[in-house]
Amino acid sequence: MIKSISIFLIFAAILLLMASPGPSSGRSDETQILAVVQRMESAFKTVVNYSCEVEVVYYQNGIEDKYYQFKFYFKRDKKIRVDFSQPYPGLSIFYNEGDKEATVKPFRFLPAVKFRFSIDNPMIKTLAGQKIDQTDMGYFIDFLSRNLKMVKQKEEEEFHEDEEQIKFLFLAMDYIKEKSVEKYRIFVSKKNWLPIRIERYNLEGQLIEVSILQNYTINTHLEDKYFLP
């Protein structure tokens, strides 16, 4: 009788171990996302400057509406330069942290022609409403970290990882006004721990905006004068 009970207990223990999740699957998506964002924060602290090529597609009622292409330059103390190729070839925007205005040079072949605009002017905001001082990766990483504390992530949301990148679906207050919850599908390169694709959706899952960031160069010799208009 004792032998039968022992066999039963061993069998029950085996079944319990088989049913229990392993260490890797026991982490929630929210915990995994937090680990990724912390890694992004740590990596960005080592970034003195970077540049990347950016494509942004805006959608109207889920249908592609506007397309922008530009090269983005950033240097510590939030020096920003944006050189457009579409839809405004030759136009550049310059901004330095703390300034209330940005400089716009509409023609690279006429460097003396330049204009100053308030950073709140809709003419130099993105189509989604971002100001120039809200466009760098440091600001975006802070946005992720801030919303992880404010917005509860759903356990069933996706999280995928391979050798080259991590992809996750992230709930956050809207990027501009922070008044409503939206969805963001974010692709992060494990090479530099910076986003390489950002998809923005409304809560119903309708696509609003897609940003593709590629050909990063990090900590190259970008002199301050490059950010002077």
The pLDDT value recorded for residue 145 is: 94
> Mean pLDDT for each consecutive 10-residue tract of the chain (229 residues)?
42 38 47 94 97 97 94 96 96 96 94 95 92 96 93 80 95 84 96 97 94 97 92
Q: Is CATH 2.90.10.10 the classification given to domain 27-227? A: no
Q: For residue 109, what pLDDT is reported?
A: 87
Q: What is the pLDDT of residue 20?
A: 38
**What's the pLDDT score for residue 108?**
86
Q: Say what the pLDDT of residue 115 is.
A: 97
Tell me how far apart the alpha carbons of residues 165 and 125 are, in angstroms, rounded to a whole number: 30
Task: Specify which residues 79 forms β-bridges with.
Answer: 75, 96
Can you give the pTM of this predicted structure?
Answer: 0.84
In this prediction, residue 150 carries a pLDDT of 87
Question: For the residues of 105-143, what is the DSSP string, one character each?
Answer: ES-TT-TT--EEEETT-GGGS-TT---GGG-SHHHHHHH
Residue ranges covered by each domain of the chain: 27-227
